[in-house]
Amino acid sequence: MTAEPCLVAESARAPRGGDGTTDPSPPLLQFQSETALRRLGAPWGCKTLPMERLWAGLRRCFRSQAAKIAIGIIVAILAVLTLWILPPELVDVSGGKDLKGKDRVDAVANERRTVLAALAGLAAAVGLVYTALKHQLDRDSNVTERYTRAIEQLGHDSIAIRLGGLYSLDRIAADSERDRDTILEVMAAFIRNQSKRTEPENPPDTDVATTLALLTGKASWITAGKTRIPLDLTDANLTRANLTRANLTRAILTGADLTAANLGGADLTGVHLDFTNFTGARLDGANLDGANLTGANLALAHLDGAHLTGADLHGANLGGADLTLARLNGSHLGGADLTLARLGGADLTDADLADANLNGADLTRANLARAILDGADLTCAVDPDDPHDTTDSANLTLADLRGADLTDAHLAGANLTGANLTGVIGLGSVTGCKSVIGLESATGLPPGFPAPSA
């Protein structure tokens, strides 16, 4: 059953205009789900489960002085009745029915002392249970009150007060394991909503940047795997955000805008980054192993030394990107745009580059062993007066292409000087061979394979 939304705090309501009408723009964190609030004992009149109603009743009971007095009187009466009625019965049960006079009185007194000791032990046990229960109820009440204040602070106009609310939520999450998922939902919603208010091309506001730091730092409770849900930053505007060495392994960044963001050394292993905008972003040394970058825009991005083993880059735009020494072994680059990309020394072992556009790409000393290049386009504009002009050519100088599949690849004007073509598949079907530069110096050519004419 879908939970009905529930009002979080009065201060989070939409502001009213001068004419008394409600601002139609979505207020910041105006609503949270009923389910999320239940976890914190929502005191705002939301629907509650039977167990929660019992819990709320116990809270009221423990806080009521009259209830405490009534319970005390009832317990005292029961204790007196027990001491008065039970001992004679115990004497009779234990074979003392025939006792008379002083003997019976002494027997009953002994049983009464035994019952009194048992009641004292029971009272001590009840006291311990009461103390523990009261401590838990007080703790829950304290967490709820702290949460309520923090939510109110998030909707405040003052950035200093909003920061206070964020740090308060972070502390609650660190202290209360069962409330972490709820708080993560709130903080992620804060980033998504607040980031969209930032002017285009401006870095995130201080409160958004602070939230990101709290959730992606090494000591964060979310990066330690202490939540059951991911950090959902879908479609967030994080232009020029500073996420250096951030741990984003539990994030979803589908459709997010990270233009010119700094993610150097960040951990994005296995993260959903499909259709994310990384134009001009710094990802040097970042770990993107197994990440989903389908359709992502990485034009002019800095990915030198980045780890992209097994990453899915189908249809991604890597035009002009710097992938020098990047690890792309086993990655999926089918249909990707790598025009003018710098891949010098990159490891593309077993990579799938079928139908990829590598026009003018620099693959000097790149390792393309067993790579799939069928249908890939490595052509360039060849000057008919100087076919050896390497300007804007796909540079595969000294590239390792052992066992690569070049079926139907387009190599017109590509530079294969010193490349290792041992065991290359489909070399006979390659188009543009006669304008390939340096093919005569390539090693591993099939016997009798014609070198291009000058």
* Residue 126 structural domain: 5-14+27-154
How many helices (H) and strands (E) the chain has is answered by: 7, 4
CA atoms of 403 and 327, how far apart (whole Å): 19
* Residue of 293, 237, 285 whose CA lies nearest to 261: 237
**How is residue 92 written in tokens?**
């009779």
Helix (H, G, I), strand (E, B) or coil at 431: strand
- Asked if the structure places residue 307 within a domain, the reply is no
Domain-located, residue 53: yes
**CA 372 → CA 329, 364, 437, distances in Å?**
11, 18, 21
pLDDT at 233: 95
Three-state SS sequence of 258-305: CCCCECCCCECCCCECCCCECCCCECCCCECCCCECCCCECCCCECCC
Number of Cβ within a 10 Å radius of residue 122? 11
- Indicate whether 295 belongs to any domain: no
Q: What is the mean pLDDT of the chain?
A: 79
Nearest alpha carbon to residue 228 among 274, 178, 171, 190: 178
289 vs 308: CA distance, rounded Å? 5
Cβ-based neighbour number of residue 23 at 10 Å = 11
Name the residue with tokens 């060849």.
382
| d(C-alpha 297, C-alpha 316), whole Å | 6
Tell me whether residue 325 is in a domain: no
Helix axes 159-175, 180-195, angle to 10 degrees: 150
241 lies in a domain? no
Range of weakest confidence among 135-149, 238-252, 359-373: 135-149
pLDDT tens-place string over residues 46-101: 333 454 555 566 556 656 667 667 777 887 787 777 777 777 777 677 776 667 77
- pLDDT tens-digit map of 395-420: 888 888 888 888 888 887 788 889 89
Q: What is the pLDDT of residues 149-195, one digit of tens each?
A: 898 999 899 999 999 999 999 988 888 888 889 899 999 999 999 99
39 domain residue, yes or no? yes
Structural domain count, the chain: 1
Report the C-alpha gap between 454 and 193 in whole angstroms.
Answer: 62
For the chain, give the percent of residues with pLDDT over 90.
39
The helix/strand/coil state of 438 is coil
Question: 99 lies in a domain?
Answer: yes
Using CA atoms, how far apart are residues 323 and 303, in angstroms rounded to an integer? 5
Work out the average pLDDT over 304-312: 96
What pLDDT, in 10s, does the model give residues 8-61? Answer: 333 333 333 444 444 433 344 443 434 444 444 443 333 334 545 555 665 566
Please tell me the least confidently modeled range out of 13-17, 49-53, 135-139, 273-277.
13-17
What's the confidence (pLDDT) of residue 224? 64
Residue 354 to residue 373: CA distance in whole angstroms: 5
The closest of 347, 402, 338, 335 to 374, measured between CA atoms, is 335
Q: Is residue 259 one of the residues assigned to a domain?
A: no
